[in-house]
Amino acid sequence: MDIKGKVALISGGASGLGAATVRMLVSTGARVVIADLNEQAGNALAGELGEAASFVKMDVTNEKEVQSAVDETVKRNGALHIAVSTAGIGIAEKLIGKNGLHDLDRFVRVLRVNLIGTFDIIRRAALAMTSNQPDADGHRGVIVTTASIAAFEGQIGQVAYSASKGGVVAMTLPLARELARYGVRIVTIAPGVFMTPLLGSLPEAALQSLSQQAPFPPRLGKPEEYAALVKHIIENNMLNGETIRIDAAMRMAAK
């Protein structure tokens, strides 16, 4: 799919991987709606990028707000061709820890944001895309979701996060098969350790340790590298129903 002239909705688009994706899409000629809880950061990014970008406040766990974000995207721009889901949270908690059993509400909260929130974005964006006129390849839309290498090699204390990201991976192929009849593709990216706000609060020593676990290059990933993969996924029509790792050959240890 040619990005120029298309309309995109980015959940979690105010910072980190999402913000890098917003910048990439605008620079490539798309009109982008930034959907995020952080109004200050979202409006600042939209203001920086000019008329091609706008902001809408959205909580991925709020069905009405997700639907409103999709509706607002179509209303402002006439269509929705690209949806990228990057909103997510993580916690570190053992099943049996010093303070007792893993808190069930915290486990559910992670699944609610990372898995169910992603599914809600997918279903509402896909429905909007079915109204688009197909291109020469029968293409109506592209959806990119964000998992994690923790979906495959979750560490001790990552059970909630790994379960949520494993669910994103698991639903990619069945959704791609179902959406094929509408000319809508879906691909998942599983990043390794990237420099995002989720990691920004870690001590420098911890960040250095994580960097050294990557065989090559031995560093944290850059959000722009995630965005570059999103660009290729959108432009390469043969990528569908797949989860792509972007992790510098990292395989997470048990802890």
Q: Which residues pair with 183 in a beta bridge?
A: none
3-state secondary structure of 216: coil
DSSP string, 97-128: ETTEEPPHHHHHHHHIIIIIHHHHHHHHHHHH
| The two three-digit tokens of residue 247, written as one number | 């992790």
3-state secondary structure of 235: helix
Residue 100 has phi, psi (to 5 degrees) of 105, -155
Q: Is residue 18 within 8 Å of 10, Cβ to Cβ? A: yes
Q: Is residue 161 annotated as a catalytic residue, yes or no?
A: yes
Instruction: Tell me whether residue 162 is exposed, middle or buried, using C-beta atoms within 10 angstroms of its C-beta: 0 to 12, 13 to 18, 19 or more.
Output: buried
* Catalytic residue, candidates 55, 161, 194, 226: 161
C-alpha distances (whole Å) from 164 to each of 125, 171, 178, 230 are 20, 11, 21, 21
CA–CA separation, 126 and 118 (whole Å): 12
Q: Is residue 220 within 8 Å of 209, Cβ to Cβ? A: no
Q: Which residues pair with 56 in a beta bridge?
A: 35
H helices present in the chain, as ranges:
16-27, 39-49, 63-77, 104-111, 117-129, 159-179, 197-200, 204-212, 223-235
CA–CA separation, 212 and 168 (whole Å): 27
Residues annotated as catalytic (active site), given as ranges: 161
